[in-house]
Amino acid sequence: MIPLDEPRLRYTAHLQPMLGSTFQATSFPDIGAAKFSRVRGGDSLLVESVQSMANRLEATAWDRAERHPAALVQALPYVRVHRRDNPEEHLTSSREEAHRLASAFVRDSTLDGSPMLEVIRDRLGLAKDTPLNYPRMARALLALDPFCLLHGVFFSHKVWLGQPRFTRAASAVIEAHEVREVISGGRKADHVRHQLLEGEGGTSEGYGSIPFHRIEWTAGDIKAMFVVDIDLLRSYGLGAGVTELLALIALWEIRTLLARGLRLRTACDLEMTEQPKELPEQAELEARITELITAEGLGADPITVLWKG
């Protein structure tokens, strides 16, 4: 289905705004929109960062309404965090947390009475004066939460000797090229309080009519670009079947994200005008993923830990 002998798989999707011609770019504190000039000329814009796209890809495999993994990957193991004083209440999980298994909520929990700090340390084989064994650690992560191998995890606590880091294997970014600013504005109207008097609630309290300005963008070309690092997945020594499974889950996330539409923000709703031709179809990916989960014997119940908070 996919060329696993390639070092990396690359895909590009061409996008356009679903409504009108303008879109709202991502914005950073004290910086604003990330506008830049490419070497080949022309103003460009970072529409969605690598960090944000990683979160969006991972979110495709989680059912927010039901608070459990998407049906396709529900058989794969992961860590559910419940409250110690209410063991039936789902709090969060390694699939929802930004740091996955290294999340503070996982780290500060217990499994059958044992601190997760120690459980993870022992399963990864972390010890003094001992080199980090990435194939062994990868096998341990495969049994805890395979998505850590796909989306990365950094065990930065001092108890986790060597502080192993698994880098992200699936990366993406959205850029707009040949961009122009679109200046507009509006007015927040107050139909009750027509006049602001001293000593009464003012605009800082939300009263009164307030004009505002906004900057949106238009672009000659908007691209979503994706890379899956097959060499990195292969380096874990988990075998051809597991390597293929992880790669296909990444492709399924890409396909799902593009198929659902990219409503990144209130005023940034994008759709595909041209999809990656090399990207396998959704049904094909789902059939093979289901087959590999069974063939590799990776089905397991969620691991429930109790948070001490």
Q: In the structure, what pLDDT confidence band is assigned to residue 264 with cuts at 50, 70 and 90? A: very high
pLDDT at residue 281 above 90?
Answer: yes
Residue 197 falls within a domain, yes or no?
A: no
pLDDT at residue 85 above 80?
Answer: yes
Residue 1 falls within a domain, yes or no?
A: no
Q: Report CA dihedral (250, 253, 259, 262) to the nearest 10 degrees.
A: -110
Q: In the structure, what pLDDT confidence band is assigned to residue 273 with cuts at 50, 70 and 90? A: very high
pLDDT (0 to 100) of residue 219: 95
Q: In the structure, what pLDDT confidence band is assigned to residue 117 with cuts at 50, 70 and 90? A: very high
Which residues are within 8 A (CB) of 216 and not within 5 positions of it... i.e. 6 or more apart?
A: 22, 23, 24, 25, 181, 182, 184, 267
pLDDT (0 to 100) of residue 108: 96
Residue 196 falls within a domain, yes or no?
A: no
Question: What does the pLDDT average to over 39-53?
Answer: 90
DSSP-derived 3-state class of residue 35: strand
- Report the mean per-residue pLDDT for the chain: 93
Residue 2 falls within a domain, yes or no?
A: no
Residue 199 falls within a domain, yes or no?
A: no
Q: Six-digit token pair at 241?
A: 């079947």
- Closest C-alpha to 255, from 290, 287, 285: 285
pLDDT tens-digit profile of 18-29? 999 999 988 888
Residue 112 falls within a domain, yes or no?
A: yes
pLDDT at residue 197 above 80?
Answer: no
Residue 267 falls within a domain, yes or no?
A: yes
- Closest C-alpha to 11, from 176, 244, 255: 255
Q: In the structure, what pLDDT confidence band is assigned to residue 199 with cuts at 50, 70 and 90? A: confident
pLDDT tens-digit profile of 206-251? 888 888 788 899 999 999 999 999 999 999 999 999 999 999 999 9
pLDDT tens-digit profile of 173-189? 999 999 999 998 888 88
Q: Which domain holds residue 285?
A: 8-186+204-307
Residue 129 falls within a domain, yes or no?
A: yes
pLDDT at residue 110 above 90?
Answer: yes
Question: What does the pLDDT average to over 190-210?
Answer: 79
Q: Name the more confident of 32 and 229.
A: 229
Residue type, 121: R
Looking at the structure of the chain, the number of domains it has is 1
pLDDT at residue 200 above 80?
Answer: no
